[in-house]
């Protein structure tokens, strides 16, 4: 909406995290916390969000760049003070401003939209988001009048024993009519247990002026949970992981053990794919239909074609074709393109290489900086020797070639179509089409050599 503005409070030190990294840059399911908040902001407003920054400001700005406007809170004097720092961006504007906490990654855009609609449709000047929890320790409490209307918000440290029994907590997220918020900020006081300017006090100020203030209570309290400790970070990660995995299962993916499957928010997975425990799917990975991911794969920013299988392997920034088998214990390094119906077996490493359809690299081989054709067999222990100590060179292998066991292909070199390289050969020159290449010394057996050598050794010792 054009008349909706967003302020995100992200200036806190996060001292309980005990980290040099700003709290909002810690990751939940592989994404910084602040990215989820920006998603929520962008879901409800076309205007750039206003990010209030302080601790680790340079790191935050470097990460977010031009996706936000910035207000610096040099001295952190509370949530009300943070909004004061952002106020110049909304002065003279009409409409509504949503204030969000920068450490609540589980908040949904649709929830924020519902809060905004509740505010506008109800004619409220301000609305606080709330939820009911089993343990409200540490949270501000929503105090209601006897008829259930908003009365005030009391911070935990300022609450009486009776008020601390209340289970409805403040989510630190609000929707204000802009003019009402700006006028109330001038009346804030720091006369409280913390000596800070509480944004919550603006709601009481607005109410006392005779304006309408409300509370929008959520059914799912997990959406408003903040991250202040490593334990809370872990819990948020678990909740987000459940949300992500449940989405994929509803879309037709079988996840054997959702509690031990780790999928980033950007991953796409086709229907009828089966994912076993221990898989880690990161970045913008795309898994096709009908794939099988046996336990303990790590796949990052890669594509896996329909019907392919991977077992206990690492695939990074690469493309895997359809009906291809990877692993176990294969390592597909960045820049690799593996064709259809390919076998990349155990303890094989592929780096920055293109492997043609129907090719087999069965086990214990290294293929680096190479283009390998169709229907090629690369035997056990083959090494594509790509580095001369200064420069990486490429190897070209044509279609239907057979590379025997323990072959070294010393790049730059070309092995043409329909060739055969004998086991144990070190190839330094090009191999022409239809040729057999042998590059090894002829075997010589020296009979009696062992006994003679032993006799000479005994004489030396005597």
How confident is the prediction along the chain (462 residues), in pLDDT tens digits per residue?
A: 569 999 999 998 788 889 999 999 999 999 999 999 999 999 999 999 999 999 899 999 999 999 999 999 988 888 999 999 999 999 999 999 999 999 999 999 999 999 999 999 999 999 999 999 988 888 889 999 999 899 999 988 888 999 999 999 999 999 999 999 999 998 888 877 677 888 989 999 999 999 999 999 998 999 999 999 999 999 999 999 999 999 999 999 999 999 999 999 999 999 999 999 999 999 999 999 999 999 999 999 999 999 999 999 999 999 999 999 999 999 999 999 999 999 999 999 999 999 999 999 999 999 999 999 999 999 999 999 999 999 999 999 999 999 999 999 999 999 999 999 999 999 999 999 999 999 998 889 999 999 998 999 888 887
Task: Please give the backbone phi and psi of residue 282, each rounded to the nearest 5 degrees, phi first.
Answer: -115, 165
| CA neighbours closer than 13 Å in the CB half-sphere of residue 406 | 6
Do 184 and 200 touch, CB atoms closer than 8 A? no
Which of the 8 DSSP states describes residue 37? H
Give me 97's structure tokens.
């401003």
Is residue 248 among the annotated active site residues? no
Distance CA 32, CA 39 (A): 11
Do 244 and 29 touch, CB atoms closer than 8 A? yes
pLDDT at position 1 is 57
CB atoms within 10 A of CB 6: 26
Residue found by looking up tokens 């005779």 in the block: 210
Beta strands in 247-307 (DSSP E): 254-255, 262-263, 268-269, 274-275, 280-282, 286-287, 292-293, 298-300, 303-304
CB atoms within 10 A of CB 325: 19
* Cis, bond preceding 398 (omega within 30 deg of 0): no
Q: Give the H/E segment covering residue 172.
A: strand 168-177
Distance CA 55, CA 45 (A): 26
**pTM of the predicted protein model:** 0.89
CB atoms within 10 A of CB 397: 28
Selecting among 63, 156, 363, 393, the annotated active-site residue is 363
Give me 60's structure tokens.
């935050």
CB atoms within 10 A of CB 404: 19
Domain boundaries, the chain: 4-224, 254-437
pLDDT at position 138 is 84
Give me 107's structure tokens.
């908040």
Residue found by looking up tokens 């291809």 in the block: 324
Give the CATH number of domain 254-437: 2.160.10.10
Do 125 and 180 touch, CB atoms closer than 8 A? yes
* Residues 6 or more apart whose Cβ sits within 8 Å of residue 292: 273, 274, 276, 308, 309, 310
Give me 3's structure tokens.
């008349």
| CA neighbours closer than 13 Å in the CB half-sphere of residue 380 | 2
Note whether 4-224 and 254-437 share their fold: no
pLDDT at position 235 is 95
pLDDT at position 96 is 97
For 4-224, which CATH class? alpha beta
């Amino acid at each position: 909406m054009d008349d909706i503005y967003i302020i995100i409070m992200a200036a806190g030190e996060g001292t309980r995290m005990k980290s040099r990294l700003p709290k909002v840059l810690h990751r939940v399911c592989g994404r910084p916390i602040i990215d989820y908040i920006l998603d929520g902001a962008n879901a409800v407003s076309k205007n750039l969000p206003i990010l209030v920054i302080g601790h680790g400001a340079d790191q935050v700005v470097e990460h977010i760049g031009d996706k936000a406007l910035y207000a610096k809170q040099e001295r952190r004097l509370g949530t009300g003070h943070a909004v004061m720092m952002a106020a110049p961006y909304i002065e003279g504007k009409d409409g509504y401003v949503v204030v969000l906490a920068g450490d609540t990654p589980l908040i949904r855009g649709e929830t924020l939209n519902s809060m905004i609609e509740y505010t506008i449709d109800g004619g409220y000047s301000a609305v606080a988001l709330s939820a009911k929890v089993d343990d409200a320790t540490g949270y501000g409490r929503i105090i209601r009048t006897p008829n259930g209307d908003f009365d005030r918000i009391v911070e935990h440290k300022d609450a009486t024993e009776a008020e601390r029994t209340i289970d409805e907590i403040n989510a630190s997220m609000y929707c204000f009519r802009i003019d009402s918020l700006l006028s109330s900020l001038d009346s804030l006081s720091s006369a409280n247990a913390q000596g800070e300017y509480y944004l919550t006090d603006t709601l009481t100020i607005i109410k006392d002026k005779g304006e309408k203030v409300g509370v929008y209570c959520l059914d799912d309290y997990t959406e408003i949970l903040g991250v202040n400790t490593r334990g809370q970070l872990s819990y948020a990660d678990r909740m987000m992981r459940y949300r992500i995995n449940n989405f994929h299962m509803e879309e037709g993916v079988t996840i054997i053990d959702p509690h031990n499957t780790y999928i980033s928010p950007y991953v796409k997975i086709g229907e009828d794919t089966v994912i076993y425990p221990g898989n880690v799917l990161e970045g913008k990975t795309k898994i096709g239909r009908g794939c099988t991911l046996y336990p303990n794969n790590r796949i990052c920013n890669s594509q896996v074609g329909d019907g392919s299988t991977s077992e206990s392997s690492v695939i990074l920034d690469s493309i895997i074709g359809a009906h291809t088998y990877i692993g176990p214990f294969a390592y597909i390094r960045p820049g690799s393109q593996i064709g259809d119906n390919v076998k990349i077996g155990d303890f094989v490493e592929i780096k920055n290489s293109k492997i043609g359809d129907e090719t087999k690299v069965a086990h214990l081989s290294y293929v680096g900086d190479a283009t390998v054709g169709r229907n090629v067999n690369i035997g056990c222990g083959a090494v594509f020797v790509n580095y001369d100590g200064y420069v990486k060179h490429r190897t070209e292998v044509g279609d239907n070639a057979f590379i025997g066991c323990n072959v070294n292909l010393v790049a730059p070199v070309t092995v043409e179509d329909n060739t055969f390289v004998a086991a144990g050969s070190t190839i330094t020159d090009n191999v022409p089409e239809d040729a057999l290449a042998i590059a090894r010394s002829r075997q010589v057996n020296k009979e009696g050599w062992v006994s003679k050598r032993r006799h000479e050794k005994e004489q030396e010792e005597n």
